[in-house]
Amino acid sequence: MPRVTLGTSALEISRLALGGNVFGWTASEEASYDILDAYVAAGGNAIDLADSYPHWAPGCFGGESEEIVGHWMRERGNRSDVVLCTKVGKFPGNQGLSRSQIMAGIDGSLRRLQTDYIDLYYCHADDLETPLEETLRALGELVSAGKVRAIAASNYSADRLSEALRIADEIGLPRFSAVQPQYSLVVRDEFEGPLQDVCEREGLACLPYWPLAAGFLTGKYDAAPSGARSDTVSQFQTPRNEATLDVVRAVADRHGVAPATVALAWLLTRSTVAAPIASASRVEQLPALVASTNLELTDQDLADLDAVSG
C-alpha cells in the first residue's frame, strides 16, 4: 500500500486509514483483531479512533474501540509500527475542548490504548464555548510532554481553522497538520471550497470520514436498508445520490472492481486528500477498500464521476 507524509507533520501514513468506530459495535473483539491483522498485512498503518467510540452502541459507554486496539497492539507487540490517531471532545461526560477536558481525555485514551503517546490527536469537533487559545495551549503541552506527536482538527469550519492556525503562529504553538471532514462523492460541499482552500494554502492534509457515505457507496444497500447502519444510510438515498451510485457502478464494472474501490480511489485523486478513513465490520470487506490505493482511474472515469456528483 502506498504511503504519504501527512500534511506538515513528520508522520508517514498509508493511503487508506482504517476506521475503528466499528470495533466493539458491528465488529466483535475477535473480528476486530482479524480486520486489524489483515489491514497491517496489506501494508496499512493508520488506525483512526476517538475516545467516544462507540458510545452509541447498545451496552457501550465510550472507549471500547480504543480498548480493543490497545489489547491488539499489546498482543502483537507492534505499537511502533502503527500510526495511532484518536480524538478528544465527545466522550460522554467529558465533552468539550477546555484544558481540563483535554487533559482528562488524553489520560483516558493513553490508558485504554496501553501506550504513552498518540501519533495524531484530533479535536473531535469545534468547541465554541472554549477559547481557541486555551485549546491550542493545552495541545501544545501534550506535544511538549511527548504524549502527542501531531495535532489535527475534525469538523471545523474554514474560518475557525484559519483562526486556530493564526493563533498558533502568533503564540508559537504547534499547528494543526490535518483535518477530518465528511467528504465523499455524494457529500462534496463540506470540504470543497473554503475548507479545501485553507488546506491547500497551509499545507494541511485531509483525511475524509464517511468516504463511502456510511456504506451507501458500496452499493450493497437496497431501497430499505436494515441493520445497525440503516438510519444513517437512508439519509443518502436520494435520486441525485442514486444517480451517482449508478455511475460508480459503471466505472467499477469497467475496471472489474467493487463500487467501494472506485469511490475511495476517486477521493485519492483529490487535492490534499492523504487517506480516506474507511471501516470494515468483516475481514472479507477489506480487500475492496485496500484495492483503492492502487486503482488508476482514467480521465473518462473522472469526468463521468465529476459530472454526476459535482
Residue 74, CA atoms < 13 Å, CB-side half-sphere? 13
Out of 53, 156, 183, 209, pick the active-site residue. 53
CA neighbor of 125 nearest in space, from 76, 85, 70, 180: 180
Residue 48 three-state SS: strand
Instruction: Give the start-end residues of each E strand in 27-175.
Output: 46-48, 83-88, 90-91, 94-95, 118-123, 148-154
CA separation for the pair 30, 24 (Å, rounded): 10
CA separation for the pair 51, 136 (Å, rounded): 19
Compute the residue count for the chain: 310
CA separation for the pair 72, 36 (Å, rounded): 8
User: In the annotation, is 53 catalytic?
Assistant: yes
Residue 200 three-state SS: helix
CA 184 to chain centroid, in Å, comes to 12
CA separation for the pair 97, 256 (Å, rounded): 46
CA separation for the pair 93, 81 (Å, rounded): 32
The letter for the amino acid at 62 is G
CA separation for the pair 186, 309 (Å, rounded): 6
- Distance of CA 41 to CAs 34, 286, 288, 290, Å? 10, 11, 15, 11
Q: Cβ of 281: how many Cβ atoms within 10 Å?
A: 19
Whether 98 contacts 139, CB under 8 Å: no
Give catalytic residues, as residue numbers: 53
